[in-house]
């Protein structure tokens, strides 16, 4: 159930229609409310608030009709500007960033403001009755309609400014970088305990890949049964709590073969269950229900996807058609900022236990090495002929090295520094550029050695 709620909420939150629909519903309710209050309070309002609208039936109809027509026109203009923004972002920065633009609540609120004002004025307009009928002019409602029109003009001006800012490359990179850091804060909440014996022990110990029960690997090889996926798509969300509850209910151990961000096809092994004889069709269906599959990766539990968004921007910037190394260097800067935070976090263990401390679920985990590979590999491959980007990557490694405490993290950074300098030797034609890269490499290596010495 939790997985389906997440899927529905994520789809609604990423749509252009949800917030405007809510605001439109509020406008309809407001129109009926103000019209109902208009007759008893109009005289009092006109006596005490001189700025309220005091026109006759014809004037009120003309004003409300003009506002309604203007608002629906502005809604069309905003929709057109949004499509142009999405087109530019998709072409220059990558189609995977469209989801970020669609989740922008500012655009949704602007569309909702114009549509809500249009509906409000339209509903109030239908209550105006002329002299050939019983005369009724909703002065309070018309005054509120004029006020909403003034607010809408201010919203339009702000939206133009917002669009002008949001399509700038540095702003887009900063937004994606902020989302990446927020994802690290959410998925890796624990800091390494520095300066304590426990922290030093953790820094020198690799995360185990097998459960602590000595006989369990052999048992898995002999008695575990594969649980088959019943759908196709990218894993967007895994309801770990539901899996633990299912494992407790059936008294089994689950080892997941796929994690968030992985693509699964129908018939592929999704998990292993031990003991294998307890696997049933009903249990398999319930386990499959704890996995949310979709046509694209999302950032909820997939930290590597957020890294790939920055990498995609950098790789596109390094393409011959764009040739924008400055954007690529900005991406490297934000990736380095994220790695500086990640390297100070405890990596999550793959073992999930129940309330009785019984091992129930073994999950794939993302390590610092995995995310560093995702951050640097493609940028290194496409930027090997750019001295500026190569130097910036080595400088970033030097900065990250100053925060490392685990020996395996230092080895990962040194491995990437070596690959970067080897690529520069073959990709840079100018000898001075190669020497500058070698100089940055030596600096990064010294910092890594210093961090290794301080961690022992």
Distant-in-sequence, close-in-space partners of 390: CB < 8 Å, separation ≥ 6: 380, 383, 384, 420, 423, 424, 427, 428, 437
Cβ–Cβ under 8 Å, residues 242 and 298: no
pLDDT tens column, 155-213: 999 998 888 888 888 888 998 999 999 999 988 887 764 433 333 333 333 333 444 44
Average pLDDT of span 83-87: 81
Select the more confidently predicted residue: 263 or 207. Answer: 263
Average pLDDT of span 336-364: 89
Confidence of residue 377 (pLDDT cuts 50, 70, 90): very high
pLDDT at 197: 38
Average pLDDT of span 408-422: 94
The listed range with the strongest mean pLDDT (1-10, 201-210, 384-393) is: 384-393
Instruction: Give, to the nearest 10 degrees, the angle between helix 368-382 and helix 407-427.
Output: 10
Cβ–Cβ under 8 Å, residues 101 and 89: yes
Distant-in-sequence, close-in-space partners of 320: CB < 8 Å, separation ≥ 6: none
Residue that is written with structure tokens 């655009």 in the block: 107
* C-alpha span between 335 and 114 (Å, rounded): 38
Average pLDDT of span 43-60: 62
pLDDT at 127 over 80: yes
* C-alpha span between 253 and 228 (Å, rounded): 16
pLDDT at 456: 45
The listed range with the strongest mean pLDDT (45-49, 78-82, 132-136) is: 78-82
pLDDT at 3: 61
pLDDT at 52: 57
This model's pTM is above 0.85: no
């Amino acid at each position: 159930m939790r997985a389906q709620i997440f899927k529905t909420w994520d789809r609604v939150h990423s749509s252009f229609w949800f917030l405007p629909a809510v605001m439109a519903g509020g406008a309809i309710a407001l129109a009926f409310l103000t019209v109902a209050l208009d007759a008893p309070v109009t005289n009092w309002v006109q006596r005490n608030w001189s700025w309220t609208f005091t026109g006759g039936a014809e004037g009120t109809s003309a004003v409300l009709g003009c506002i309604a027509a203007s608002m629906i026109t502005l809604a069309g203009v905003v929709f057109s500007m949004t499509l142009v923004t999405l087109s530019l972002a998709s072409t220059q920065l990558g189609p995977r960033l469209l989801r970020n633009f669609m989740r922008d609540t500012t655009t949704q609120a602007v569309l909702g403001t114009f549509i809500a004002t249009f509906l409000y004025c339209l509903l109030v307009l239908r209550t105006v009755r002329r002299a050939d009928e019983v005369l009724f002019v909703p002065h309070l409602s018309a005054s509120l309609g004029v006020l909403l029109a003034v607010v809408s003009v201010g919203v339009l001006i702000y939206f133009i400014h917002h669009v002008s800012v949001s399509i700038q490359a540095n702003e887009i990179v900063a937004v994606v970088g902020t989302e990446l850091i927020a994802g690290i804060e959410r998925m890796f909440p624990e800091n390494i305990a520095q300066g304590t014996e426990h922290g030093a022990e953790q820094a020198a110990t690799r995360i185990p890949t097998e459960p602590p029960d000595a006989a369990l690997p052999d048992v898995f090889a002999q008695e575990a049964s594969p649980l088959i996926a019943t759908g196709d798509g990218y894993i967007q969300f895994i309801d770990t709590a539901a899996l633990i509850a299912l494992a407790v209910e059936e008294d089994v151990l689950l080892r997941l073969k796929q994690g968030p961000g992985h693509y699964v096809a129908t018939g592929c092994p999704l998990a292993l269950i031990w003991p294998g004889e307890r696997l049933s069709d009903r249990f398999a269906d319930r386990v499959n229900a704890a996995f949310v599959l979709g046509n694209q990766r999302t950032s909820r539990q997939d930290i590597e996807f957020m890294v790939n968004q920055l990498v995609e921007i950098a790789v596109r910037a390094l393409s011959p058609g764009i040739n924008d190394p400055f954007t690529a260097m900005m991406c490297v800067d934000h990736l380095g900022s994220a790695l500086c935070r990640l390297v100070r976090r405890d990596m999550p263990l793959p073992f999930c236990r129940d309330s009785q401390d019984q091992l129930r679920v073994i999950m794939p985990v993302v390590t610092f090495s995995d995310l560093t590979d995702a951050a640097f590999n493609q940028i290194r491959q496409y930027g090997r002929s750019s001295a500026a980007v190569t130097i910036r990557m080595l400088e970033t490694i030097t900065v990250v090295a100053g925060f490392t405490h685990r020996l395996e993290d230092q080895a990962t950074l040194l491995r990437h520094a070596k690959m970067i300098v080897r690529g520069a030797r073959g990709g840079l034609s100018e000898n001075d550029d190669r020497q500058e890269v070698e100089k940055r490499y030596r600096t990064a290596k010294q910092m890594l050695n210093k961090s290794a010495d301080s961690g022992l």
